[in-house]
């Protein structure tokens, strides 16, 4: 049954909660702790009816939930959204092949690959990996046994396909993307896909494969913060100079009234969204 709740904040937003038709089934979901494909930190995922979903946590500064006659002070919201399991399994398969230099590495069975010390959750993904990982792997069969080895060319082809699909979708989701040139949209698409890739080797290889100049995401964030700091300092100096220029002898300088509730511009560049068990 659908239910309606209200979000309380600067602007009230009506949120309609409805069951997801793509997650039907009677089996209860399981929370699995797996390694995040980029940071390698332990992260919670929901595995339900053969579908792997990442859990995201969202919270505004001021918010609460109206649930019937009850008001929940905590206005945070957990969302489970489908994620391509190939992204999550890619680092595990990369390590399992034990590649050295030009040597392509070893073929391994799935139960060996998915045995990760300290992360038993991967064992639940055996059937899922069998369905989805052939797209980025070479396989060999010996009798009734099947062996897998990650293939770089297949991985790059798969990643390029993901980027192209995202590039076509972004202008439909946001008019700002529709207004910019295709090259910048391509860079943005790679940046989004890169949130699930380690810089070495996959993100750099993807930039090179698409003929783009690699930009380190961590350096980009540092440069943005530095630029904002410089702009803020320049603005403060400009305001100080203007005050001195407008100051008349014998009259006290009128103090500028600070706007209450104002936020630092840096806050506009961060999203209130994180993964949390």
pLDDT digits (tens, 9 = 90+) for 26-55: 567 899 999 999 999 999 999 999 999 999
To 10 degrees, what angle do helices 152-173 and 182-193 make?
Answer: 120
Strand (E) or helix (H) holding 85:
helix 85-96
pLDDT at 25: 57
* Residue 67: band (very low, low, confident or very high) from pLDDT cuts 50, 70, 90: confident
pLDDT digits (tens, 9 = 90+) for 246-273: 555 555 444 444 444 444 433 433 333 3
Nearest to 73, CA basis, from 86, 58, 62: 62
Q: What is the dihedral of CA 18, 163, 102, 89, to 10 degrees?
A: 0
Please give the backbone phi and psi of residue 141, each rounded to the nearest 5 degrees, phi first: -115, 130
Report whether pLDDT(101) > 80.
Answer: yes
Per mean pLDDT, which range of 105-114, 200-209, 223-232 is the poorest? Answer: 223-232
Q: What is the mean pLDDT of residues 184-210?
A: 94
Q: What is the CA radius of gyration of the chain?
A: 25
* Residue 123: band (very low, low, confident or very high) from pLDDT cuts 50, 70, 90: very high
164: which 2 tokens? 């192209």
Report whether pLDDT(87) > 50.
Answer: yes
Report whether pLDDT(56) > 90.
Answer: no
pLDDT at 20: 53
Q: Is the pTM of this model over 0.75?
A: no
* Residue 174: band (very low, low, confident or very high) from pLDDT cuts 50, 70, 90: confident
Q: What's the farthest any 2 CA atoms get from each other in the chain?
A: 98
CB-neighbour burial class of residue 271 (10 A; exposed 0-12, middle 13-18, buried 19+): exposed
Q: Calculate the average pLDDT of the chain.
A: 78
Nearest to 185, CA basis, from 203, 157, 165, 201: 165
244: which 2 tokens? 């001195």
* Residue 14: band (very low, low, confident or very high) from pLDDT cuts 50, 70, 90: very low
pLDDT at 74: 85
Q: Which residue has the higher pLDDT, 65 or 157?
A: 157
15-83 fold: N-terminal domain of TfIIb (2.20.25)
Return the domain boundaries, the chain.
15-83, 86-216
């Amino acid at each position: 049954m659908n239910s309606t709740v209200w979000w309380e904040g600067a602007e009230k937003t009506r949120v309609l909660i409805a069951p997801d038709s793509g997650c039907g089934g009677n089996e209860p979901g399981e929370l699995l702790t797996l390694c995040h494909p980029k940071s390698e930190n332990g992260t919670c995922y929901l595995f339900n009816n053969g579908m792997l979903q990442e859990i995201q946590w969202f919270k505004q500064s001021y918010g609460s939930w109206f649930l019937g006659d009850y008001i929940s002070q905590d206005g945070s919201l957990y969302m489970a959204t489908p994620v391509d399991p190939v992204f999550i399994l890619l680092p595990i398969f990369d390590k399992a092949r034990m590649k050295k230099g030009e040597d392509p590495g070893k073929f391994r069975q799935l139960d060996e690959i998915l045995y990760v010390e300290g992360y038993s959750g991967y064992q639940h993904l055996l059937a899922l990996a069998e369905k989805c990982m052939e797209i980025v792997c070479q396989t060999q069969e010996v009798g009734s046994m099947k062996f897998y080895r990650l293939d770089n060319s297949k991985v790059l082809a798969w990643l390029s396909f993901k980027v192209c699909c995202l590039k076509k979708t972004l202008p439909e989701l946001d008019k700002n993307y529709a207004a910019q040139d295709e090259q910048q949209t391509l860079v943005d698409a790679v940046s989004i896909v890169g949130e699930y890739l380690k810089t070495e080797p996959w993100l750099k290889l993807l930039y090179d494969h698409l003929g783009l100049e690699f930009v380190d995401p961590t350096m980009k964030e540092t440069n943005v913060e530095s630029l904002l700091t410089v702009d803020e300092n320049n603005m403060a100096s400009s305001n100080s100079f203007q005050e001195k220029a407008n100051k008349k002898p014998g009259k006290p300088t009128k103090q500028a009234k600070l706007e209450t509730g104002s936020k630092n511009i840096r806050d506009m560049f961060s999203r209130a969204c994180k993964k949390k068990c």
